Structure 1
């Protein structure tokens, strides 16, 4: 099957086929909603290790070996009845999914949009890994996810989906690079041009979709003369100019940091599936919602400033469904918080 397809990002039908062949496996039945047009949602396992520092296992060593051989583990947390992951702490959780990839297939992980928009930093780790979020071609073994809530403590359970995996065959060519420009205009966005996270906010329960009052976690922002000053270490939700639309034969990724664009991290969650922004009756496309964190010094953002960069890659085959066809909280989006929150009022 894999030998006969073109190099590129694997769509939903090929992800289903790999799952049926055992190349992607789990002790529990897959949910159909895990399979996105060009990515697979990954589910948390039953427990979490609170660790004192992030780490990579390194070539020839497994994650489990590193945990057993070191004093990195502070305690083990059972997630079956819900577990609180606290702000500023680092946790390591086994994922339910494991891989036995064909030799021509590699993978890349990224946080889901709802994870990035609540300032939860997540990275996938494999056995023998020397880098985060990258799965080498032909990898056989378990998957782990490192979780670090930056601003809000979160309540999680087994099966929660904080991260996603994009599988690729061969060396996927980059078709195009495209900068996204920031929108700080009241004329297009209205009175609120962004949100800043509140410190010392209540606990966020990831099972309560649309049940959290956003004002308890965020404060609204207005721009003065089209500028906004980022404070170091603070977390912001901002929006790009409208017009983002991903063609149906393309998968896109927003790079987490483009070093030449400014003193800030511009995006945590980076996958855009084919068909994103192509909402019927909406010729303007969607906006890219930006999860922005200031770095070491205050930094002035200006309206229409480039703030993030997209790269485009081909699909290896057409998907069965495009983004938004099976329902999505973010299709055709404007400036929007995570799906955990009620509409702003």
Structure 2
């Protein structure tokens, strides 16, 4: 009897180890439940003093958190042939702890190590040692190699905080190559206002991608026919034939506004510090100048001023897809249309969808923008599985169902 029990326990342990395997066959963006699995198995790791928090997980992404120290550097950089730390050692002007909070000044460049780091698989079949102290192993089996991409969070863009992720030996911002093993660093440049940051705060988010599944224009049109993605100003689904497609779904800017005529905001010159820990705290009119619709249906943007507008159309991201805003290239290079870009599954799930909020800066010269002008496009990717939670449903959101809206730090 004792021998049978020993064999049962041994077989049971082997079954437990086998249960630790994760096999991903479908290509696309990894949903929240698979991200949580990779966290529990040590593919995505964190500083031991700062365990992962439930609120970090979004339907298709995980929020990354600021680490313990900030480095003021002379300029931004790509490390390419060396580590980020080596570049910091060459360019650092001074460093300071942000564990109890620290102020970042406008138009100064800071590099902040993040609490999270990655151990992405080098191949399509890789075994990891479990991090729970059991001595067990976890096997990750995929059809394609897994890469990652980051983007600023919505709040980051609405506060005019320029951020981009940097990794060791990389020649590109925001992109993390398959097989990367190492720390993550965030370049942070406040543009309009000084900001107070603290360890653990979240300025950007990360997605893991299995292969490349960006939908073609024909696939976007077919997806819209099944479950409408784009809606008019009144909440009516736009006809399939009227979609503007060209390596993405084009959307435009609204300069007419609603009944109150409000179409946007322009950042004021204000040196008061915005503490990112204070929600619904600041008077918006101390920091922002409201902009109202003009008789001519156009506006001329001042060089280097920062504006917030909203899209004319409304969008809704089906649960089986994830979206990303990408700039519409006018060929002039004079206009940056947004900073933040990820749209999680379920965004705009209320009837009639939600507007996209646009963060806009004209460079060098005044720039004319007209009502209905094409401003950006949306690209879509499939998810490897339906997320167990979707945006605005099981996920607390400050911007679900939004119209024109400032960041969550300002009073309504």
Which category describes the TM-score, using the shorter chain as reference length? over 0.9
Measured against aligned partners, the alpha-carbon deviations of 1:317-341 in whole angstroms (never above 9, x if no partner) come to 1101001112201001000000111
Inter-CA distance 335–236: structure 2 relative to 1 (3 Å threshold): same
Q: Which residue in the other structure is 2:43 paired with? A: 23
Residues 1:65 and 2:97 aligned together: no
Q: Which residue in the other structure is 1:105 paired with? A: 146
Residues 1:49 and 2:90 aligned together: no
Give 1:262 shift: 7.1
Give 1:3 shift: 4.4
Q: Which residue in the other structure is 1:316 paired with? A: 384
Measured against aligned partners, the alpha-carbon deviations of 1:221-248 in whole angstroms (never above 9, x if no partner) come to 0121211111110000000014211111
Could you say what secondary structure the match of 1:296 adopts?
Answer: coil
In structure 1, distance between residues paired with 2:208 and 2:115: 17
- Confirm or deny: 8 A CA contact 1:264 1:294 kept in the other structure: yes
In structure 1, distance between residues paired with 2:353 and 2:214: 25
In structure 2, distance between residues paired with 1:40 and 1:4: 18
Q: Which residue in the other structure is 1:288 paired with? A: 356
Q: Which residue in the other structure is 1:179 paired with? A: 250
Residues 1:254 and 2:322 aligned together: no
Could you say what secondary structure the match of 1:193 adopts?
Answer: strand
When normalised by structure 1's length, the TM-score is 0.94
For structure 2, the residue ranges without an aligned partner over 5 or more in a row are 1-20, 123-144, 218-247
Measured against aligned partners, the alpha-carbon deviations of 1:24-44 in whole angstroms (never above 9, x if no partner) come to 000221011101000110000
Q: 50, 62, 83: which is aligned to 2:102?
A: 83
Q: Which residue in the other structure is 2:31 paired with? A: 11
Measured against aligned partners, the alpha-carbon deviations of 1:282-323 in whole angstroms (never above 9, x if no partner) come to x22100000000112111111111111111111111101001
Measured against aligned partners, the alpha-carbon deviations of 1:246-296 in whole angstroms (never above 9, x if no partner) come to 1111111101453448731111000000110012xxx22100000000112
- Confirm or deny: 8 A CA contact 2:327 2:375 kept in the other structure: no
Give 1:4 shift: 3.1
Residues 1:304 and 2:372 aligned together: yes
Q: Which residue in the other structure is 1:265 paired with? A: 336
Q: Which residue in the other structure is 2:287 paired with? A: 217
Q: Which residue in the other structure is 1:231 paired with? A: 302
Q: Which residue in the other structure is 1:278 paired with? A: 349
* Corresponding pairs, count: 336
In structure 1, distance between residues paired with 2:101 and 2:216: 43
In structure 2, distance between residues paired with 1:133 and 1:175: 23
Q: 179, 196, 202: which is aligned to 2:272?
A: 202
Give 1:172 shift: 2.6
Q: 50, 59, 82: which is aligned to 1:37?
A: 59
In structure 2, distance between residues paired with 1:295 and 1:257: 15
- Confirm or deny: 8 A CA contact 1:2 1:169 kept in the other structure: no
Inter-CA distance 99–125: structure 2 relative to 1 (3 Å threshold): same
Residues 1:155 and 2:196 aligned together: yes
- Confirm or deny: 8 A CA contact 1:257 1:267 kept in the other structure: no
- Confirm or deny: 8 A CA contact 2:119 2:181 kept in the other structure: yes
- Confirm or deny: 8 A CA contact 1:189 1:335 kept in the other structure: no
In structure 2, distance between residues paired with 1:2 and 1:221: 51
In structure 2, distance between residues paired with 1:340 and 1:4: 39
- Confirm or deny: 8 A CA contact 2:71 2:88 kept in the other structure: no
Give 1:174 shift: 3.1
- Confirm or deny: 8 A CA contact 2:24 2:384 kept in the other structure: no
Inter-CA distance 268–77: structure 2 relative to 1 (3 Å threshold): same
Q: Which residue in the other structure is 2:402 paired with? A: 333
After TM superposition, the structure 1 = structure 2 runs for residues 109-124 of structure 1, keeping only pairs within 5 Å, are: 109-124=150-165
Highest Rg: 1 or 2?
A: 2
In structure 2, distance between residues paired with 1:272 and 1:17: 22
- Confirm or deny: 8 A CA contact 2:80 2:170 kept in the other structure: yes
Q: Which residue in the other structure is 1:93 paired with? A: 112
In structure 1, distance between residues paired with 2:268 and 2:356: 22
